[in-house]
Amino acid sequence: MEKHPRGLLLYALIFVTFFAIVHNVQAQDQNGFISLDCGLSPNEPPYNDPTTGLTYSTDDGFVRSGEMGRIQKEFTSIFSKPSLNLRYFPKGLRNCYTFEVTQGTNYLIRAVFVYGNYDDLNSYPKFDLYLGPNLWATIDMAGRTNGTIQEIIHMTVSKSLQICLVKTGRSSPMINTLELRPLQNNTYKSQSGSLNYYFRYYFSASGQNIRYPDDVDDRKWYPFFNAKEWKELTTNLAINNSNGYEPPQIVMGSASTPISTSAPWNFTWFLPSPTTKFYMYMHFGEIETLDSSDNREFNVALNGELLYERYSPSTLVMRTLSDATAQQCEGGKCLLELTKTLNSTLPPLINALEVFTVIDFSHLETNEDDVVAMRSIQATYGLSNRLSWHGDPCVPKQYLWDGLNCNDLDMSTPPVVTILNLASSGLTGTISPAIENLRHLQKLDLSNNSLTGGIPEFLAGMKSLLVINLSGNNLNGPVPQTLLGKKELNLNLAGNRNLRCSGRLCVSRNGGAIVVSIAASVTFVVVLGVAVAIFVVIKRKNTSNSNVARTTRSSEPTIITKKKRFTYSEVITMTNNFEMVLGKGGFGMVYHGTENGTEQVAVKMLSHSSSQGYKEFKAEVELLLRVHHKNLVGLVGYCDEGENLALIYEYMANGDLREHISGNQRKSILDWETRLKIVVESAQGLEYLHNGCKPPMVHRDVKTTNILVNEHFQAKLADFGLSRSFPTEGETPVSTVVAGTPGYLDPEYYRTNCLNEKSDVYSFGIVLLEVITSQPVINQNRENPHIAEWVGVMLTNGDIKCIMDPKLCGDYDSSSVWRAVELAMSCLNPSSARRPTMSQVVIELNECLAYENARRGTNQNKNSETFMEVNMNFDIVTTPDAR
C-alpha cells in the first residue's frame, strides 16, 4: 500500500531528528582539541570552562620561555577564566609555542589577547603574530579594552606547528589563550594560502553568540539581522547538518528572508583592500513548512556576477555553497544578492554565511629533517636558553638562529641548514648523532668546547661537508680512516691530545696538539701560499711610491675570485677598441662588448679623473662575487692590470630607468603596470642586499640611473661601488663619510654620518616619486625645487592627476597610484626609524601592482542600502558592529 506523502515526511523528520541527536552527542568529543590557558601555573590541573565545558590546561610544555601574569581585578568580571591568565615575553625577539599535529590536516587556530593592564603600565602592547615562519597578523591592543582575537584555518605541512610572538617595539608580546581544533579535510578548501577569519554570521535576531558545545568544531557564530529589510524564520525541528561543515542546530534553525516577497535579499561588506582575495561559504536549509503549491528558487550573485542559478534549499537538510576558487570584489566592496526566479512563489532565504580572506604564506618551513635534527641538537647540548633559538631555524632570515646559515634562495624548496657553528658554546658530552641528519651541511664548527668521546664515523659519510673544526675539545680514540682519507675535506683537530691518527701524527712530541693535514696536496698549497705571500711583501717593499694610484692600491687586499679575470688586451678586443659607448657614470665610461664573440656585455672602465678609485672598484667586485639575485646586475668578470681597471657586466639592452620615464634618447614610454613591475623588482634586489646578505649591505647610491632594464624589461639594480655593510641589531652603528647622489641622499644620514639600511629606503622613495611623476629630482625652475617638497605641496589639492606623469594619459588605477604615493612619502619620513623596511616596501608595491592588474570595468550594484563593515580584529565579548 502506498504511503501518504505527509506520513513519509513525518518518518523523515523522526529519522533526521534521531540522526542529529546521535551525531551531536558523538561529535562533542574534544578529541584532538588543544586548549591552552596561557600563563596557568603548571601546578594547577586542567579545568572545565563553565561557559563552554571545554577543558583548558597550562601552556607549560608547549613553550620554553616567557613569564606568567594575570589581568587586574577590575577586568576579571568581564572575561571568563581562560582569559584571566596570560604569558608575556620580555626577553628575546621571537618566542614560540610548538605543537605536535597531524600532517596535512586542516586546523582552526584561535589566539586570544586581553591586556587587562597586567603590568600596571596602562600601555597597550603592539607586536607581530607568526604562524611558523610567516607573518599572520599584527596585534595592536591600543584601545581594545575587550581584547582581540585572531583566527585562521590552516593546513599543516609537517608534523609540528609553531605559533610565534615577535617583539617589534618596546612593549612585550603577550597572549591569554591558544586553541587548536582539527577540522574535516573535505571542508574549507583553498587553492592556495590559508583562510583568515573575516566574519561568521548566522541570520537571526536572537542576539546570542554560539560556540562549543553547540558547534562541535568550536567555531564562534555571531548573530546578524537587518530588521528593516528582513524577517526571521525559525524552527525547532532538527536539521540534517552532516555535510562536513556541520553548523550548529541553533544556527541552521533560523534564517532570514526579505520582508517583501518580490525583493532580493542583499548583504554588503567591505574588504581590507580591492585586491583582497576571499572564500565565501553560504549555508542553506529550508526550515519553513511549504504547501504543495509553494516553491522557493533563487539565483545567487556576487557583485552582479551569477554564481549559482535556480538554487532551491532542501527541506530540513543543510547544503553549503562555496566556490573552488578565491573571489575578489572590485573596489573592495562586496554585494551578495539572492534573487528569486520567475518560477518561485517564495522569496530567497539564507541561514548563515562565513567569509575568510586568503593569506598566502610565502616562506616555506625549513626542511623537516633539518628541523628535527636542530631540535635534537638543542636538547642534547642544553641550548634552550639561547634567545634566538625559537621558531623556524632558517626563516624568516631576520630571525635566523645564531650560529646557523641556510640555503633559502630557491623559494620553491624548503630551506636547508648549510653551516652549524657552535664554537665556544660550552658544549659537553659527545658529538651528537643528530648532526648526521643535516644532509646539506657544508661546514661544522664545534671548536673550543668540552666535548669528549670519539669522532663518529658518520661525519665521513656526509657528502656535502667540506669543513670540520673540532679543535680545542677533549676528544679521544682513533680518528676514522674514512675521514682522514677525504681529500676534499678541511679537518681541524688541534687541541685534542688523546686522538690517534693511523699513519699520521696527531700529537707533537711535546704534547701539543696540531692540525691534521688531510692530503699532501693541501700541505703543498699552504707552503706555496706562504712563499707567494713573502714574495709579494718583498716586491711591494721594493716598489716605487712615485705612482699615487699604485700606492693607494698597495694597501688593499687582493681580490680572490672564481669569476674570469680578463687582461687589458682582452678588454680592448671585446670592446673592438672601445668602439661603442653605452653611457657614462661616476666610475667612468661604459662600452658595449662581446665575450667569446657571442655574449653581449657592458664594460665599465675606470677613468683616471674619476673620484672613485681602486677601493670602490674592489668593493664592487667583491660584493658581486658573493651575491646572486635575479634583480642584481650580474658580474661576468673584471680587469685589474696596472692602472687599467674594468668591470664586465651582463648587458642590459634597454638601458636605465631614468631614460624611459624621462622620455630621453627616444626610449619607449612605460605604462603604469610596467613601471610598477620595474620598481617591484628593484625593491626585491635592494631587499636582498638588506636581508639576504651576510653581513647585510646598504647600497648608498639608489637612483633611477642605477636601475637597469634588460630586453624583457626585467629590472636589475647596478653600481655597487659605494656599497657598505651595515650593523645588525646590537652592533655599533657605522659612522662613515657621507656618500651618494644629491637629491637622493638621506637627510638623517647626511646630518649624523650614521649609516643604516633606511638610508636606501629614503633614496628608493625618491625613485618612486620619479616613476610616478616623471619629474627631475631637483628642478630649480620649480617653486619647490626638490621633488619631495613639490609632491607634498601639490597633493594638498587632493588630486592625484596633478602629479601623475601626463604621458600616461590617465591610463592607470588611481587606488594603485595613491597607495604608491603614500608608500613613497612614508619612505621619506625624516626619522629613519619610522620608515618602512624594504621587505614592507616590496609587499606594498606588490599590492599596488595587484590593484593595477585587477583593473576592469565599473562596479555594479552601487546603490545597495545594506552595508556592513567588519574589523578583522574584534572584541571578545561583543558582536562586531554592523554599520
Q: Which residues contact 217 (CB under 8 A, 6 or more apart)?
A: 108, 181, 183, 246
DSSP assignment string, 135-151: EEEEEE-TT-TT-EEEE
Q: Which three cell numbers stand for residue 794?
A: 601639490
List phi, psi (to 5°) of 597.
Answer: 75, 0
Residue 599: strand pairing partners: 595
What b/e sequence results for 564-601 when a residue is b if at least 16 CB atoms lie within 10 Å of its CB, and e otherwise?
Answer: eebebebbbebbeeeeeebbebebbbbbbbebeeeeeb
| Full 3-state SS string of 751-801 | HHCEECCHHHHHHHHHHHHHHHHCCCCECCCCCCCEHHHHHHHHHHHCCHH
Task: Please say if 701 is a catalytic residue.
Answer: yes
Cα 195 to Cα 219: distance, rounded to the nearest angstrom: 14
Task: Identify which of 880, 881, 868 has the alpha carbon closest to the alpha carbon of residue 271.
Answer: 868
Task: Identify which of 687, 699, 10, 829 has the alpha carbon closest to the alpha carbon of residue 362.
Answer: 687
E strands of 596-633, at which residues? 599-605
Cα 258 to Cα 338: distance, rounded to the nearest angstrom: 10
Alpha helix locations (H) across 260-408? 368-380
Question: Are the C-beta atoms of residues 435 and 373 closer than 8 Å to each other?
Answer: yes
Question: Are the C-beta atoms of residues 711 and 654 closer than 8 Å to each other?
Answer: yes
Q: Is 618 assigned to a binding site? A: no
Which one of the listed residues 701, 719, 746, 813 is annotated catalytic?
A: 701
Burial class (CB in 10 A: 0-12, 13-18, 19+), 607: middle
Task: Identify which of 618, 614, 504, 615 has the alpha carbon closest to the alpha carbon of residue 561.
Answer: 618
Cα 196 to Cα 178: distance, rounded to the nearest angstrom: 16
Give the β-pairing of 47-48 and 55-58.
antiparallel
Residue 18 CA neighbour count, 13 Å, CB half? 6
Cα 633 to Cα 650: distance, rounded to the nearest angstrom: 7
| Full 3-state SS string of 502-555 | CCECCECCCCCECCCCCCHHHHHHHHHHHHHHHHHHHHHHHCCCCCHHHHHHHC
Q: How far is the CA of 368 from the CAs of 380, 461, 569, in angstroms?
A: 18, 20, 52
What b/e sequence results for 152-178 when a residue is b if at least 16 CB atoms lie within 10 Å of its CB, and e otherwise?
Answer: bbbbbbbebbbbbbbbeeebbbbbbbb
Q: Which residues contact 671 (CB under 8 A, 6 or more apart)?
A: 808, 811, 812
Question: Are the C-beta atoms of residues 55 and 29 closer than 8 Å to each other?
Answer: no
Give the residue numbers of the binding site for ATP.
Answer: 604
Q: Which residues are catalytic?
A: 701
Binding site as annotated, residues: 604
